[in-house]
Chains A and B, each alone.
Chain A
Amino acid sequence: MGLDFKGRSFISLNDMDKEELLYLMEKSAEVKAGKHKGFLKEKTVATLFFEPSTRTRLSFETAVLQQGGNVFGFSSSASSSVQKGESLTDTIKTITGYCDAIVMRHKIEGAARRASQAATVPVINAGDGANQHPTQTFLDIFTMLEKKGSLDGKTIGLMGDLKYGRTTHSLLIALSFFKVKLVFISPEELKMPEHYTDFLKTKKIDFEERDLLDQTATALDFLYCTRIQKERFFDPMEYERVKGSYILDRESISLLGESTYIMHPLPRVDEISEDVDDDQRAIYFEQAHNGVPVRQALLGLVLGTIK
C-alpha cells in the first residue's frame, strides 16, 4: 500500500520521514525506468522564480513537458507583479486559481511555507533563501541510492561551504534517516553550524570534522562538494589562502577511493577542475539529470496521477 501524497506541499525536509523519502525514491526509480508515462497530461504547473535559477527551473519545466503537462511562470521577480508592489500572498492567491501545482523559488526564507498557506494547490519549494531546497536533496539521495543501492553503512564527505550552503543542510537531514557516517571538510570559518551537529548527536549519527581533504578520503563512498564563495570571507586574504585547499583536480582526486563518487549540486565555478569530468567517479552531471525523473515523480504524487 503506497503513501498518499496527493494535495500535499513540499517545503522542507523537516516535514518528512524516512518512509516517505524512500517511497518518493521508489516512485522516482519507476518513472526513470519508464513505468509511468504521460501522467502530467492536462495538468498545469506554475513555475514562479522570484529569484533567478537556470538549472532548477529548466529541470522542473522539462519534467512537466516530458510528461505531457503545461507550464507557465516567470524567471525573475522583475517580470512579475511583485515589481508593482504586490505581496507574495496576493500573487499566490491569484495564481493558485490558474494551475494544478506551484513550484517556487524566493530569496526570502519561509516564503514557500507562507505560499503553501495561501495556495489551494500543492506548493513545491524550489529554494527559499538560505533555508531549504528539498528537491535538490531528493535528487542527491536518489543518485546516491542508484549508485550504492543503500545508504546504511556508507561514509559521506561534505566539503566546502558547510556554514551557508543550504544544499548540505537539507542533505544532512535526509542522510540522518540512514545509518551513515559523515565527514565534514571545510575551513574553520565555514564549519557546519552547531545546531546541525547537535541535531546529528541527538540522532546518534557518527560524524567527524576535518579542515583538509586527506588520505582518509579513500574510505568515502561519496564526496559531496560545494562552492566556497569569496563574499563569505571577512578578509579576502583569508579566502585566497583557503580556496585552493578545497578544489578538486586530477591530483587531489588521487586521495579518493576507487569507488568514491564525486557529487556537486552545480553550478560549479572553479571548485572542480574540468579535467575531473572524465573520471568515472565524477557523477555531478548525471546527478543533475536525475532531477527530471525525481521532480516528475514528486509532481505525479502530489497531483495524484501516479500511485
Chain B
Amino acid sequence: MSSDRSFRVFKIEEGTVIDHIPSPLGLFVLDILGHKNEGIISIGLNFDSRQVGKKDLIKFEHKVIRKEETDKIALVAPQATINIIKEGKVVEKRDIDVPDSIEGFLTCMNPNCITNQEKVKTAFDVIDKEKVKVKCRYCERVWEVKPNMIEKDGR
C-alpha cells in the first residue's frame, strides 16, 4: 500500500511534507500557506486515511516552511502533520500548535470593526484552543474560526 502510494505522490529528498489534512481542505491549506509559485509542489487529494477518513497531502520540494507559518494551519486542520525532509529522511516531525494570538491573518467578521473600516492589521487573542475561538483585540467580538475568516495566499 505505502509503496503503491509513493508512485502517486513522489517521494522528496528535501523539503516539507504536510500530511493528514482532512479532505477537502488540501487546496485551502495551500492557499493559506502561500508559496504556490515557489518551486515544485506535489499535491495528493482524497487518499484513504485511518485517522481522518479522507485526507489530502502537500509536498514542497526544497522548501522548509517555518513553524510560524505551519501553525496557521492549526486554525483549519489541527490534525495535519508536518515532516521536514533532508537527504530523503525525516529530520523533524513538527507539531501544529494553536498560537496564543494571531496577527494580520484572520479577518474580523464584524463589519463595524475598525479593522474593516481603516487600514489596520487585524489582531486576535485565542481564547479557546480546542474550539479555536478567537477574540478580536479591537472590537472584542468572539468568533469561532471559519475558513472564510482566513486571508489566503499567506498574506
Contact = CB atoms under 8 A, between A and B. Distances in A.
A binds B: yes
Interface of A: 12, 14, 87-89, 107-111, 113-114, 128-132, 195
Contact of A114 (B110, B112, B138, B140): B138
Q: Which of B112, B117, B118, B140 has the most chain A CB atoms closer than 10 A to its own CB?
A: B140
A87 B141 CA distance: 23
Nearest to B110: A109
Contacts, number: 46
Nearest to B122: A110
A276 to B, nearest CB: 34
Contacts of A12: 140
A306 B126 CA distance: 37
B37 to A, nearest CB: 33
B118 A109 contact: no
B129 to A, nearest CB: 15
Given A114-B118, A114-B120, A195-B142, A109 B113 contact: yes
Contact of B114 (A14, A88, A130, A195): A88
A128 B112 CA distance: 10
Contacts of B141: 109
A129 B140 CA distance: 11
B103 to A, nearest CB: 13
Contact of A110 (B119, B138, B142): B138
A131 B140 contact: yes
B63 interface: no
Nearest to A113: B138
Say what secondary structure dominates the interface of chain B.
loop
Nearest to A110: B138
Given A89-B118, A114-B118, A108 B113 contact: yes
Contacts of B138: 109-110, 113-114
Nearest to B117: A108
B113 A88 contact: no
B86 interface: no
Given A88-B114, A88-B118, A129-B112, A109 B142 contact: no
A129 B114 CA distance: 10
A130 B112 CA distance: 9
A97 B115 CA distance: 24
B75 to A, nearest CB: 19
B140 A132 contact: yes
A131 B114 CA distance: 12
B136 interface: yes
Interface in B96-155: 110, 112-115, 117-120, 136-142
A88 B118 CA distance: 8
Q: Which of A87, A107, A113, A128 has the most chain B CB atoms closer than 10 A to its own CB?
A: A113
Question: What 8 pairs between A and B have smallest CB-CB spacing?
Answer: A110-B138, A109-B139, A110-B114, A110-B139, A114-B114, A195-B142, A113-B138, A111-B114
Given A89-B118, A114-B118, A195-B142, A109 B137 contact: no
